[in-house]
Chain A
Amino acid sequence: MLSEYWPVIIFLAISVGLGTALLVIGGLLGPSKPSVEKSSPYECGFEPFADARMKFDVRFYLVAILFIVFDLEIAFFIPWAVVMEDVGLTAFAAVVIFTLELAIGLAYLWKKGALEWE
């Protein structure tokens, strides 16, 4: 089974190697004359207005949490789909109930207007 991961390992090795090589060669061969102005933070040429760490609206968090919940729902479906013919009707009923549980959640958040952005 692990031999199927050879392309992944080769891909990882090449990407890490290429990334390191580009950085190292660039650092060694490129001219480096830093000055105060060059190494100061800038924003499209002008002075930065404010801290880059601006506060987010909490609604992004809500969207992210809802994404994770339904992401996990899909993740639970995958093993079921693989062994669907072996585990039979009981498992099918269980998955239907599981889906209904989350459908209640979906109906609730829809009714609450959590999907609206205003």
Chain B
Amino acid sequence: MLIQEIIFYAFSIIMIVAATLVISVRNPVYSVLYLILTFFSAAALWILLGAEFLAIILVLVYVGAVMVLFLFVLMMLNVDLSRVNEGFVKNLPLGLLVAAIMLAEILVVLWYKGRTGIEDFPIPEPLSADYSNTAEIGQRLFTQYLWPFELAGIVLLVAIVAAIALTMRKREGVKTQSIPKQVQADKRDRVKLIDMPVEGVEDK
């Protein structure tokens, strides 16, 4: 148990420090890298809780793919480093307002559920040796939560269509290879034989 606690506190401290650095470093690329560290520490904490499937999905999907999108966005926007911290004081009230609303929302949910004290969040029971988080998720997802699962498919479909609608553009005058046309090509379309009198030779 002691080792688990050491690991828990180590990853928690790394996570809090990294999360603070995400919003305090000047360079946005460093911010994204610290966000990756935050996600990674969160994944370690989830493994400690026994949620290994979610932890691995967090690393694969968020660290592996979503953060790449974040970096792409940063590269596409061409962020001017000297102007990053401009308007900090001007936008501070709005930012604080949004933060306060988000905090209030979380507190309302907790209050509604009647979980306001620290004693409402007990230390989780030790898991049995054959506990499988993946199987547990599968059981719930494919019996109780079938509709949300299908809706997730629809949302992914919308994501595909939206991504194509936003970023697809046809470039004019690009020479592309058309394999069906190549396969259908016939020698009679390419070479034309013409009968003509031979020059310089006498007819017999």
Where the two chains meet, the residues of A that have a C-beta atom closer than 8 Å to any C-beta of B are: 1-2, 5, 9, 53-56, 58-62, 64-69, 71-73, 75-76, 78-83, 86-87, 90-91, 94-95, 97-98, 101-102, 104-106, 108-109, 112-114, 116, 118
How many residues in B have their beta carbons less than 8 Å from beta carbons of A? 52
| Interface assignment of B100: CB less than 8 Å from any CB of chain A | no
From B7, B53, B160, A108 is in contact (CB under 8 Å) with B160
| Interface assignment of B88: CB less than 8 Å from any CB of chain A | no
Contacts of A54 in B (CB 8 A): 75
From B65, B68, B143, A87 is in contact (CB under 8 Å) with B143
Given the complex of chains A and B, what is the CA–CA distance between A109 and B165 in angstroms? 10
Contact A87 B159 (CB under 8 A): no
Contacts of A75 in B (CB 8 A): 57, 60-61
Question: Provided the pairs A71-B65, A105-B157, A116-B176 are in contact, do residues A80 and B168 lie with their beta carbons within 8 angstroms?
Answer: no
Contact B156 A65 (CB under 8 A): no
| Per-position 1/0 for B102-132, Cβ under 8 A of A | 0000000000000000000000000101011
Among B91-99, B145-153, B185-193, B196-204, which stretch is in contact with chain A? B145-153
Main secondary structure of the interface of A (DSSP, over half): helix
Contact A82 B134 (CB under 8 A): yes
| Interface assignment of B84: CB less than 8 Å from any CB of chain A | no
B149 to chain A, nearest CB (A): 6
| Interface assignment of B181: CB less than 8 Å from any CB of chain A | no
Interface residues in B55-70 by Cβ distance below 8 A to A read 57, 60-61, 64-66, 68-69
Given the complex of chains A and B, what is the CA–CA distance between A9 and B121 in angstroms? 27
Contact B164 A112 (CB under 8 A): yes
Given the complex of chains A and B, what is the CA–CA distance between A66 and B7 in angstroms? 36
Contact B135 A58 (CB under 8 A): no
From B53, B65, B170, A68 is in contact (CB under 8 Å) with B65
Question: Provided the pairs A55-B76, A91-B146, A94-B150 are in contact, do residues A69 and B160 lie with their beta carbons within 8 angstroms?
Answer: yes
Residue of B nearest to A3 (CB): B129
B77 to chain A, nearest CB (A): 9
Q: A53-B79, A69-B163 are in contact. List 5 more A-B contacts (CB 8 A).
A: A1-B131, A61-B69, A76-B141, A95-B142, A118-B174
Contact B152 A76 (CB under 8 A): yes
Contacts of A102 in B (CB 8 A): 153, 156-157, 160
Contact A76 B72 (CB under 8 A): no
Given the complex of chains A and B, what is the CA–CA distance between A87 and B76 in angstroms? 45
| Interface assignment of B161: CB less than 8 Å from any CB of chain A | yes
Contacts of A80 in B (CB 8 A): 138, 141-142
Contact A73 B78 (CB under 8 A): no
From A65, A87, A98, B150 is in contact (CB under 8 Å) with A98
Residue of A nearest to B50 (CB): A1
Question: Provided the pairs A62-B168, A78-B134 are in contact, do residues A91 and B68 lie with their beta carbons within 8 angstroms?
Answer: no
Contact A9 B7 (CB under 8 A): yes
Question: Provided the pairs A59-B167, A79-B137, A83-B135 are in contact, do residues A101 and B153 lie with their beta carbons within 8 angstroms?
Answer: yes
